[in-house]
Homo-oligomer: A and B are copies of this chain.
Amino acid sequence: MARNTQVSADHNAPPITQILAQFVAHHPSRGWSDAVDHEAHRTFLNWLGCAVGASRHEAADAALAAVQMLQPSRQAGVLGRKTADGQACKVDMASAALINGITSHTFDFDDTHLKTIIHPAGPVASAILALAEGTCLDVTGTARLGGRAITGRELIDALVIGIDVSCRVGNAMYPDHYDRGWHITGSTGTLGAAAACARLLQLDVHQAAMALGIAASQPIGMREQFGSMTKPFHPGGAARAGLMSALLASQGFTASPKAIEAPRGMVQTLSTKCDWNEITHELGQRFEISFNSYKPFACGIVIHPSIDACAQLKAQGVKPEDVERIALKVHSLVLELTGKKEPQDGLQAKFSVYHGCVAGLSMGQATEDEYHDAFVTRPDNVALRRKVVATVDDSIDEASADVTAFLKDGRQIHVFVQHAIGSLENPMTDAMLEGKFHGLADPVLGTEKTSALITSAWKLGQSANLRELMSLSF
């Protein structure tokens, strides 16, 4: 029987759905600084490399096999994959958004909006690239939407706007929403993907509000899934759901015009903290993509300062065989989250700051290669790992690490990393991003094609169409 229940609710929220729809539909193309536009290209490049790099992972195999059961049309490419006959592997655009979203997060190597721990590109970029391609590449390879060619500029515009929407909604709910159990990348990502696709489809304000509204009913992702394939499914599912929300809205499907902010709408249902100001303040002036960061190392971010410090030791000439002991001082949280002393395989090693030091000192990096089981269990690496002695020092920030190498010849070499490479204060350079991209994509595409793809991605904002980019992605 119907019940009459009262749950505390904010009935005075600003019209968030309408405000965001207005922003999506009317913010000017390239209506931001050159720095923001360059950051968008960095975000896109980093996302693309991650997606191509993981395209042959077993999670991609399983997702593609499931999608093939739908006998999909060949609208949009699964990045990095070819079919048996050497052609680009293509599926319907919604499924392409799903799979590319999965692969872009499979290595946990994608971008991070540090304020919310959202990985924003996965849902947004996966949706818009598939949508642009899926709306029919004509015989010249030009994507057309209603007869109109999609330009690289439109893609970059949609990326900036979509990421702004998901991260602002994330800001409004974080940390309560995350602490409750939501994987915030997927739960806010559906909105970001819907916003970006609405922009690309040139929906008007009403339709854009409907797209956001439909998406608001589809948050995806519980944190319990961390460690399973369903974790990367979250951005993939968000990309797919956001894309479909925009398509539905374009065909007249309706949603509540207050779906995001109403008392029984998305934000109040998913979070006790609902700071609307985080969504509206400086909207269209400050862009959250400015605060995006990129991981140099393929593991949890608390290990990065220690890896960075050990890589600096290597750069200073310290060799593994010279080392008697590595004294590592870090915040207690680092050992709490990543204190695994004797990791038995690559996955466990991702939770070992000790192994991170080995990777940094012996290889100067920590890519997927340094997390292969064989590398983790190699006797010399096991021996070196046992020479790392970690102690807790809570006067050191979580984002820092203090490392001293005690060498067999009696020398001591000290490195203190305040902000690890990849942090906002010490970002990866463009050249570093290119190096990371090569590490991910070379094994899939070969070095030459990877170099051409990097060049194409850097100039995306000036591209008249997506032909070159897509032709290089397989």
Q: Is A208 an interface residue (CB 8 A)?
A: no
Residues of B within 8 A of A182 (CB): 269
A253→B72 contact, CB < 8 A: no
Q: In the assembly, what is the distance between CA of A220 and CA of B183, in Å? A: 15
Contacts of A226 in B (CB 8 A): 256
CA distance A248 to B68 in the complex (A): 11
CA of A266 to CA of B181 in the docked complex: distance in angstroms?
8
Please classify how large the interface on chain A is, using the bins under 10, 10 to 19, 20 to 34, 35 or more: 35 or more
Stretch from A210-218, A445-453, A465-473 that touches the partner = A210-218
Cross-chain contact A181 with B2 (CB below 8 angstroms): no
Contact B65 A94 (CB under 8 A): no
**What is the CA–CA distance of A125 and B331 in the complex, to the nearest angstrom?**
53
Partner of A256, one of B92, B219, B230, B255: B230
Q: Of all chain B residues, which has the CB nearest A214?
A: B230
Q: Which residue of B lies closest to A219 (CB)?
A: B219
Residues of B within 8 A of A134 (CB): 69-70
A229 contact set on B, CB distance < 8 A? 253-255
Q: Report how far A117 CA is from B3 CA in the complex, Å.
A: 10
Residues of B within 8 A of A333 (CB): 2, 4
Q: Are A259 and B2 in contact (CB under 8 A)?
A: no
Q: Interface code A227-266, partner B: CB below 8 Å = 1, 0 otherwise?
A: 1111001100100000010011011111110110011111
Indicate whether A1 reaches chain B with its CB closer than 8 angstroms. yes
Determine whether the beta carbon of A7 is less than 8 Å from that of B180: yes
> Min CB distance, A359 to chain B, in Å?
19
Contact A72 to B69, CB < 8 A, known contacts A216-B222, A217-B222, A230-B256 = no
Quick check: A224 and B1 within 8 Å, CB to CB? no
Closest approach, in angstroms, between the C-beta of A342 and any C-beta of chain B?
22
Contacts of A256 in B (CB 8 A): 222, 224-228, 230
Asked whether any CB of chain B lies closer than 8 Å to the CB of A337, the reply is yes
Interfacial residues of chain A within 18-72, with CB under 8 A of chain B in the complex: 58-59, 61-63, 65-66, 69-72
Q: Which residues of B contact A2 (CB under 8 A)?
A: 117, 300-302, 333, 337, 398
**Contact (Cβ within 8 A) A94 B75:** no
A250 to B252, CA, bound (A): 35
If A262-B224, A265-B222, A300-B2 touch, whether A66 touches B250 (CB-CB below 8 Å) is yes
Map CB proximity to B onto A365-397 as digits: 1 under 8 Å, 0 otherwise: 000000000000000000000000000000000
Contact assessment for B264 and A181 in the assembled complex, using a CB-CB cutoff below 8 Å:
yes
Residue in contact with A252 in the complex, picked from B58, B233, B251, CB distance below 8 Å: B58
Do the beta carbons of A71 and B73 come within 8 Å of each other? yes
A417 at interface, CB cutoff 8 A: no
Q: Specify which chain B residues have a CB less than 8 angstroms from the CB of A5 in the assembled complex.
A: 175, 178-179
**Closest 8 A/B residue pairs (Cβ):** A181-B269, A71-B73, A181-B264, A223-B264, A65-B251, A224-B265, A230-B255, A62-B253
- 18 additional A-B pairs beyond A72-B73, A180-B269, beta carbons within 8 Å, are A1-B301, A7-B179, A61-B252, A62-B254, A63-B253, A66-B244, A69-B251, A70-B134, A72-B72, A216-B224, A217-B234, A218-B237, A222-B256, A224-B259, A224-B264, A225-B255, A229-B253, A233-B253
Residues of A within 8 A of B (CB): 1-5, 7, 58-59, 61-63, 65-66, 69-73, 75, 92-94, 114, 117, 134, 175, 178-183, 186, 213-214, 216-230, 233-234, 237, 244, 247-248, 250-256, 258-259, 262-266, 268-269, 300-302, 333, 336-337, 398-399
